[in-house]
Amino acid sequence: MKSTVFSWVLFLTVSLVYAQQSDKPAPMPEAEVFVTDQSVQIDGKTIALKAHAGTFKLRDEQNKPIALFGFTYYEKKNAEANRPIIFSFNGGPGSSSYWLHMGIMGPKRIVVNDPDFTPGAPYQLVNNEYSILDMADVVMMDPIGTGLSVPIGDAKFEDFWGVDQDIRSISLFITQFLIEHGRMNSPKYLLGESYGTFRNAGVMKRLQDMGIAMNGVVMVSAVFDLRTLVFPPSEDISYLVHFPTYATTAWYHDRIDNKPASLEAFVDEIRAFTENEYMPALYKGDRLSEAEKQGMAEKLAGYTGLSADYWYRADLRVTNSEFFNELMRDESLTVGRLDSRYYGINEDGIAQNGAYDPQSAAISPAYTAGFLHYFHEDLKVGKHLMYMTSAGGRKGFRWDWSHQGNFRWNTQAAIQTATDMATAMTKDPNMKVLIMNGYYDIATVFYGVEYTIDHLGLPKSIKDNIIMEYYEAGHMMYTHPESMVKFKKDLANFVRETTR
């Protein structure tokens, strides 16, 4: 009897201990940073670097840990005082920064067969002579859900997945990183690509509101107003701003008669046609006569290589996905969205919309495998850490597109951060913005950027602070050798001219 009672007492005691232990919160994960010596050769000079790759414990406004934020930081050894620092990221939303990292910003770059398909491994990782690391330190940032970045404590992924949520976490990271590394008095820059430019416009304003001014902001393949991309019903803007890129694509693929020798001159001609003829025709809508509609369809055909009949049946409005498949349908080919110089096999000869992006298919394996090899073998990041190239692979990924800045007009109809950029530039007339545009980018079209900039309502003195550069390449213009040279030159000039 005593033995039975003792056994029950022991059982209850052990159960209570385990229950108490299970009630204890899990220990807070700690940041991990892996430090290595790296170098890069630029213009015949070797620059010694210290690379920090890993995670940073991010805190909220109440100093409470909310995330481990993934990053790679390249700093020059024995650097001169007040060396500039550039915070760089890609877009998506939901993309990590490995495209820019291995394409143009880091000390190593991936070699691809632009504009053709790159064969399988082994891939070429070479010294990146076009990096900006000769002039500035670089922090490659991976937003929460990408790279090594994950929420901790009470935070959840959805706390970071949205326009304003993302702007907040990026701004918190930049602020805390600058303090942690003693860089608050360094010349500061943002460099974002694609959705990263949409993010940039919000971050530059939020940081400014926090008392942190940027010397300059670089927009690679920009979009600030989503109306220019999504072809909403009863809205002509997206059709108009895409048309010049349809024309440049047809020019590149020799799909137009009497092709002008100069691409720039051709683009100027297309701009004038779009504003003075195509736009008034679309504005008329159903009031356009049959003769006017037929005449416009023939002009559109002459500039794009699509038939007049196709334009006519499309009511003079062709979406980008329709264009991908139609341009080279007679050869059973489809052209690229990110870079329309690329083309690939069209498996469905009667499909109306593009099924895949040839440029993405052509370069993604090289970038992904090449980066992961470099990340773990060269930067020595622990192999127990899984790098997520995209948040799209995480369960429940969904983006909240609401933005506080859009409620100025009490509407969410226009999802944009252009007004954030305009406000930030107005409040800081010294800040400059460099916008890099690819003529063959059908993901974020150059004429859409021009439209947005021309409708910001900025005084000339402020608008002159926006510098527009153009490249005979696509969304990732740095895959194109000639554009890579120009990218470095333009970025270097921008940093040089904006560093006080």
What is the per-residue pLDDT across 242-252, written as a single tens digit (0 to 9) for each?
A: 999 999 999 99
Q: Final residue of a domain: which of 355, 387, 418?
A: 355
Residue 205 and residue 252 in one domain = no
For 436, the domain range is 33-227+365-498
For residues 69 and 73, give the distance between their C-alpha atoms in angstroms, rounded to a whole number: 12
**Structural domains counted in the chain:** 2
Residue 218 and residue 75 in one domain = yes
Residue 492 and residue 374 in one domain = yes
Per-residue model confidence as pLDDT tens digits over 373-404 = 999 999 999 999 999 999 999 999 999 999 98
Is residue 409 scored above 60 in pLDDT? no
Q: Is residue 55 part of a domain?
A: yes
Q: Final residue of a domain: which of 304, 333, 355?
A: 355
Residue 248 and residue 218 in one domain = no
Residue 193 and residue 65 in one domain = yes
Residue 292 and residue 417 in one domain = no
Q: Final residue of a domain: which of 318, 337, 355?
A: 355
Residue 373 and residue 318 in one domain = no
Average pLDDT over residues 191-198: 98
CA distances from 415 to 142, 425, 456 (A): 23, 20, 15
Residue 216 and residue 251 in one domain = no
Residue 76 and residue 207 in one domain = yes
- pLDDT for the residue numbered 411: 52
Q: Is residue 135 part of a domain?
A: yes
Residue 62 and residue 167 in one domain = yes
User: What stretches of 60-115 adopt beta strand conformation (E)?
Assistant: 65-76, 85-89, 108-110
Per-residue model confidence as pLDDT tens digits over 290-345 = 999 999 999 999 999 999 999 999 999 999 999 999 999 999 999 999 999 999 99
Average pLDDT over residues 107-121: 97
Is residue 12 scored above 70 in pLDDT? no
Under the banding of pLDDT at 50, 70 and 90, the label for residue 148 is very high
- pLDDT for the residue numbered 338: 98
- pLDDT for the residue numbered 25: 67
Domain containing residue 71: CATH number? 3.40.50.1820
Q: Is residue 232 part of a domain?
A: no
Residue 442 and residue 297 in one domain = no
User: In Å, how far from its chain's centre is CA 218?
Assistant: 11
Residue 343 and residue 399 in one domain = no
Q: Is residue 18 part of a domain?
A: no
* Pairing mode of beta strands 65-76, 150-151: antiparallel
First to last CA, the chain: 87
